[in-house]
Amino acid sequence: MAQAVASVSTRRLAQALGAKALTPQPSARRWAPAVGVASFRTPPAVQQRAFFWSRSGKDDGDGKDGGDSGEGKKGAEAATGSGAGPVVEKPPGSANGALVEKPPDALKESGGAEADGSAEILPVPVDSAVSVDSPGQLRKDSGTFSPQLMVLPLPRRPLFPGQQQILHISHPDVAKEIRRLLDHGTPPLIGAFLHKNADTAASFLGEVHKDEEEAPPQLEAFLNIEDPIGSLYHIGTRARVVQAMPFLTHGKDGITLDGMQLLLQGIDLITLDSMLHRGPPLKVQVSKLRQKPKSEGDKDITRAYINETMHTIREIMKINPQFREHAAMIHQGLERLEKGDPHAIAHFAASLTTASGAELMTVLETEGPSEKLRAALELVKKELELSQLQQKIAIQIEEKVSSHQREFMLREQMKMIKKELGEDKSDGTDKLMDKFKKRLEGKTVPKEVQESIEQEMEKFSNLAKESQEYQTTRNYLDWLTMMPWGAHSEDTLSLIKARQILDRDHYGLNDVKERIQELIAVGSLRGSVQGKILCLVGPPGVGKTSIGRSIAEALGREYYRFSVGGLYDVAEIKGHRRTYVGAMPGKIVQALKKVQSSNPLVLIDEVDKIGRGHQGDPASALLELLDPSQNSSFMDHYLDVPVDCSRILFVCTANVTDTIPGPLLDRMEVIRLSGYDLQEKVRIAEDYLVPNSMREAGLWPQVESESSKAPEEVVEPTATVPSSESSEGVGKEAEAAVALPKASIDAKAIESLIRWYCREAGVRNLQKQVEKICRKLATQLVEHREKGSKQQEEPEKAPERLEDLELHVTEDKLKDYVGKPVFLSDRLYEGELPAGTVLGLAWTSMGGTVLYIEAMALARGAAAKGGAPSVNVTGQLGSVMKESSQIALLNARRQASARFPEDRAKFFEEHDIHVHCPEGATPKDGPSAGVTMTTALLSLALDRPARADLAMTGEVSLNGKVLPVGGIKEKTIAARRAGCKALIYPQANQRDFDELPEYLREGLEVHFATSYDDVFKVAFPEV
């Protein structure tokens, strides 16, 4: 289409040629020529005959231009100057054919070239072979048809008769030949033939200019082809060079012609016969193509094709913007062509389309008028379909853009209306919206959450700031956008590094450390550590809570801790409903917001002390959170969107498992932590407690990073402190630091402190005692320093030196620092035990301890004899131990009847039995005293004490089976502390005893009992 209408105006042509636009002169009504364009004045007779809708023009066969030599009004417009370019006028009184060449100064005035001579005007005289007839008569050529023509190939599209096309010549020989012809004064005629291979023709193109749809062809490659004639279509167009613009270069050697740009106007169709001269330029012999005239039989068919072609072109004009751009010219052409030559109509219709060169050549090569019209109609129909599709796409895009523009305008109007009403939210709502959107950048937000956020943002944008729901929606969006959607920390999958961190902060706790190493090993194979639920169960002070932070550091995860001890509100776990005032999410959502990671380590402390009130059962709320199959979509009441908690590593702590609900305990992996024995406590005190307490008290120097040092890297106490005067800091600079004496605690003192003051399973009380000692040492140091400063004021007295102060704590001085011992002896009875007293072993939340069972018998009166035996228990025993006493009495009676002589067999029927456990202020309960109570009753019946160094534990059944118990390590420690060398454990607990360290098992005589008969043999070997 662009090529078809390329000759509409000289202004468009000048822009395509890169020249300045032609401007009409108001006074003389003539065109000023663009610089470097050779123009030919065509007489009016020639102009009229160039109209391709001419009815009277005929080809006389002698070389004159016939009626088919010009097709389309564009040719006429080009010839008159409105389409073809500038016209060189004859001055009044000049000879025919004479031209007036304007000087450079005149060119400047008329918008021509610059004075530097970068372009050149080619003077071309009027063709002498063209005669000018009187106005209104058709022009008659005086020359004949020349069969010899210079050939130029065309890329992509052929040139139709009556149409115009631009061709770029860069070959120097061809350009010189064309200039030579122009210098002769005759507008040269050339043959324009389309190249067959479009790809090869594309290679002839040079640079594509911004304002040109197609770049001009290059001729060098074509002229170097072995058979140039074979690469061209044999039907082409004889064309006249209407305008020529040379490309000149000013160099050292003068002006050089680099190329030429031609404007060709098609005249008629020709056929390629033979090659006369290879050139360059290429010259061939051609003959005029005779078009078949209309036949009377095909008259109706031809008229139908013409009407349909005209109708289709008009339909295209309605929807195609490029057609509408030249609507006036096309309408005028259709009106004049409607009754004209069918060949001209077919050529005109085909030139309007964007078809390929091969399809356009089909129209040119077709001889019959009906067949040619049919071929052109097919191309026009395709163009109509393409235009309709283009219109559909344009409408869709326009509707979309219009909807966005309409929405934008409505929103702007809404803002102005709200501003007039005083409801403008520009004071913060827009900034909040931008802040919320910025938070979500880079986060992988789940689809359901994203939809909820978008809905809330849309609602929030329409809320007035005074609205009650404004603040509620703002807080909700704040929580939603602050959540770490898709963000997680990289796990440290190094076993060596994890072990170093765990050993650095904690001594012992091998079960926990091994479990963490297993977790890391599995994560190393899988590529990521999955979320788990661990429960650390053990007595207070063994490091359950503090090891949670070390585990987080070993895994490279964020750490968050919260306690559920005494928690009675479900909302603390699952959050409040947003309808309540002051509603907030639960602890888990708060943890994720704080750490900004979706895979932190969350420590839930005191899970065994969780409460229950009228506001729900928090333990039941933890079921969803701590269930691996459900916590991937944990639903918080406040957020009301699923939160993925499956990657969180939960670590719970508890002292006992008895108070943890069964369903909750089933969801956790329980790791039991036993208490520390004497050797472990001594090591912990020497490596951790004493150095830390000394530094906190100022007795030892502070280190930059104590956590980076291994436990054995203890810094020597060589710190310096300022003197007393400098410490006051009253207008004085700090004086020289004085070296401190070495402060230390003897190993024997630490051992005595553990044995007589701190017998609990953990080390919390031991830490308190060590800190107490360090505080007293610091007090002594400051008192001595102040005393020495006062003595310096009295010269007659010798001052005491700070270096002479002894800050070494020994076992003998221990009572001066921590007071009298809490425990005077490990045993209630020294030496042999009385009959009816047996030493048992018990486990408490503070660790293992020895438990004495005392039995006493009183003879019944004569009236009471024969009654059922009974036992009374005291010592604040629980229900379980009371039931154990009843079972123990039955087992003792059975053993007595089977083993004792007749006078002792009825001991229990003749006496009232009383069982007591000392330290009655301490509650006691548990299923591990049955064996001890049975032995105490039999010792009382035999009136024979059991072994003094014997301690036992275990529950006995009604049939005398000894049942397993727990806390073997703690009970063994308690037995060693009490000096017991012989122990009786249930047979099922042998594996627990075998796992104990060698130093705990060393020197012990351990017996494992399956039934009470085994216990009786050990306790009373001589019976």
CA distance 129 to 186: 8
- Identify the CA nearest to 333 among candidates 86, 70, 80: 70
- How many Cα atoms within 13 Å fall on the side-chain side of residue 500? 9
- Note if 724 is an active site residue: no
In 10 A of CB 116, how many CB atoms? 8
- Note if 928 is an active site residue: yes
Contact 990, 966 (CB under 8 A): no
CA distance 914 to 856: 5
Q: Is 754 helix (H, G, I), strand (E, B) or coil?
A: helix
Residue 537, H or E segment? strand 533-537
Six-digit token string for 81: 């100057």
Catalogue the long-range contacts made by 386-392 (C-beta closer than 8 Å, 24 or more residues apart): 386/354, 387/316, 387/319, 387/320, 387/323, 388/319, 390/319, 390/320, 391/319, 391/320
Q: Provide the sign of the torsion angle of the four alpha carbons 795, 798, 800, 803, taken in this order.
A: positive
Angle 764-769-771 from CA coordinates, rounded to 5°: 95
Q: Which residues pair with 672 in a beta bridge?
A: 537
- How many Cα atoms within 13 Å fall on the side-chain side of residue 288? 20
Which one is catalytic: 574, 587, 924, 971? Answer: 971
For every residue of 471-497, DSSP letters joined together read HHHHHHHHHHHHS-TT--PPP---HHH
Residue 837, H or E segment? strand 837-844
> 44-69: buried (b, 16+ CB within 10 Å) or exposed (e) per residue?
bbbbbbbbbbbeebebeeebbbbbbb
Angle 691-696-701 from CA coordinates, rounded to 5°: 65
CA distance 278 to 280: 6
Which one is catalytic: 928, 957, 1011, 1017? Answer: 928
Contact 892, 934 (CB under 8 A): yes
Q: Which residues, in sequence order, are CB contacts of 424 under 8 Å at separation 6+?
A: 415, 418
- Identify the CA nearest to 939 among candidates 838, 1017, 830: 838
Contact 972, 951 (CB under 8 A): no
For every residue of 977-1021, DSSP letters joined together read HTT--EEEEEGGGHHHHHTS-HHHHTT-EEEEESBHHHHHHHH-T
- 3-state secondary structure string, 346-369? HHHHHHCCCCCHHHHHHHHHCCCH
Phi, psi of 46 (to 5 degrees): -65, -40
CA distance 688 to 506: 9
Angle 481-484-487 from CA coordinates, rounded to 5°: 140
Active site residues: 928, 971
